Chains A and B, each alone.
Chain A
């Protein structure tokens, strides 16, 4: 039970708005000490995992090219492009993106799009241009929804792909119990939820359009 103290540290630290990096390292130390590990062993475990997960941070290599293009009018051009499309609404733009993201993720192409690669430079400005927001609050809502759509699309598309990490993890864990499955058997069962995600999130995007259109 004592090892749960680290979770309390995280929750309290985030709530009290301490620097999150500090909260994370303190939580690691508290958890390790509660489990009877010495501080150096905890630091070594943390350091090894940190080194093994550098690929998470590698995505920032796209920033110089994105920054360069933004200084040469990328966001404005993306907005202008959508402005020319007749019948484009924020909801329809994002539904199109949701479908694109689910299908490509289902083909295993998880990293071809994302918040830094596509949402900030292209999708959010396009959705904003189509929404034609009246105030900052509306514009925030549309941008937040653009990021949310990216996440929903990738989460509920990727498990249809047979070689994605989560499918291989499930296969590995079940084998530990003597249950042998083919990745394909697992991935077909991601399809019902993928369809449900498209329906639920797509419906919310249509509601967003109605809310934006109200009073015009």
Chain B
């Protein structure tokens, strides 16, 4: 069955080529960093937990030396006309159609991973089409891609690193401690107090963990289920759904959600690395207030 294994193979080969090109260009730190990412994609399942941990330490060591270099600067683009849009649109189009089509064939493609598989397939088709339409060699495409990954630098690994930190936080019981603290500040019997603490707790805890998924089980246990559902008689569907969305407001405001907030700032070459977060706060705060009012209105 085609699933994440296929996606990881494509990613592994991509990073092997990036690494090879970097090493040929004598960009040792970049090459070593990309080699480790390639190793993780190709053989991560065979390294064992401690082996993967050691791989992470090596990645961090390379990043911390500060020897990774930025992109080499790109030549002025050639104009090939409007057909340049065709491969660019093939990626979302194949991802869209592939997702819908693959769900019909659960024996062929893992339905849980349909979109990622379709995205990888769309990328390969777009690459082949792009090389044909632009009359370019594959090496040129990977050199251009390597320019982009070098611009992103070690920040490319932040989202995955933060997700892994979340697992350590979970094992250490960070959530229970934060939830307990939140639970203590609510005046007894106050519905509005419980609603505000729950929604703010979701947002703040999400900002700390970078992920509303980590916050939800904790805040549900601390406030959502005992006080809002059982205490105030709130509809559990509303309490859960609106609480999660309050958490998403937190995701918009935190550097811990690196893939949404920091990587795009690098990709768009913003001088302010918190530029995307600054652009999101004025949307996130009114929405957080909206969620608090909606929740209070539906419960009271």
Q: Are A67 and B115 closer than 8 Å at their CB atoms? A: no
What are 8 A-B pairs at a CB distance below 8 A? Answer: A53-B164, A57-B157, A68-B144, A69-B88, A71-B75, A112-B95, A118-B92, A189-B241
Please classify the interface of chain A as helix (H, G, I), strand (E, B), loop, or mixed, using the class held by over half of its residues. helix
> Is the CB–CB distance between B244 and A170 below 8 Å?
yes
Asked whether, in the complex, the Cβ of A116 is within 8 Å of the Cβ of B267, the reply is yes
Q: Are A109 and B264 in contact (CB under 8 A)?
A: no
B84 to chain A, nearest CB (A): 5
CB-based contact B276/A144 at 8 Å: yes
Residues of chain A from 25 to 75 with CB closer than 8 A to chain B in the complex: 25, 27-28, 31-32, 34-35, 37, 40, 42-51, 53-75
Contact partner of B158 among A21, A140, A197, A201, CB < 8 A?
A: A21
Please measure, in the bound complex, the distance between the C-alpha atom of A104 and the C-alpha atom of B100, giving whole angstroms: 12
Neighbour of B163 across the interface among A49, A117, A155, CB < 8 A: A49
Q: Is A25's CB under 8 angstroms from B241's CB?
A: no
Residue pair B244, A60 in contact (C-beta under 8 Å) = no
Q: A55-B7, A68-B127 are in contact. Are A121 and B88 (CB under 8 A)?
A: yes
Note all chain B residues with C-beta closer than 8 A to A213: none
Minimal Cβ-Cβ distance residue in B for A184: B237
- How far, in angstroms, from A32 to B255 measured CA to CA in the complex? 22
A49 touches B159 (CB 8 A): no
B268→A181 contact, CB < 8 A: no
Could you tell me the distance in whole angstroms from the C-beta of B21 to the nearest C-beta in chain A?
11
Main secondary structure of the interface of B (DSSP, over half): helix
Contact of B115 among A14, A65, A66, A111 (CB under 8 A): A111
Query: Which 7 pairs, one residue from A and one from B, show the smallest C-beta to C-beta distance?
Result: A67-B144, A47-B52, A47-B53, A64-B145, A49-B167, A43-B53, A189-B241
Total B residues in contact with A, Cβ cutoff 8 Å = 135
Least CB separation from A155: chain B residue:
B248
Evaluate contact between A46 and B92: CB separation under 8 angstroms: no
Contact A57 B54 (CB under 8 A): no
**0 or 1 for each of A4-38: is its CB under 8 Å from B? (1 = yes):** 10110010001000011110110110011011010
Contact call A115/B238, Cβ cutoff below 8 A:
no
Q: Determine if A92 is an interface residue (Cβ-Cβ < 8 Å).
A: no
Partner of B140, one of A68, A173, A197: A68
Find B290's partner among A19, A109, A196 (CB 8 Å cutoff): A196
Q: Hey, which chain B residues are within 8 Å of A55, CB to CB?
A: 4, 7, 116
A152 at the interface (CB under 8 A from B): yes
Instruction: Quote the shortest CB–CB distance from B86 to chain A (angstroms).
Output: 9
Q: Check A49/B166 contact, CB under 8 A, given A55-B4, A155-B252.
A: yes
Closest chain B residue, CB of each to CB of A179: B236
B240 at the interface (CB under 8 A from A): yes
Q: How far is the CB of A207 from chain B (nearest CB, A)?
A: 9
The answer to the question of A210 belonging to the interface, with a C-beta cut-off of 8 Å to chain B, is: no
Task: Tell which of A6, A104, A143, A150 has the most Cβ of chain B within 10 Å.
Answer: A143
Instruction: Tell me, in angstroms, the Cα distance from A122 to B84 when the chains sit together.
Output: 11
Contact with A along B237-263 (1 / 0, CB 8 A): 110111011001001100110111101
A144 to chain B, nearest CB (A): 4
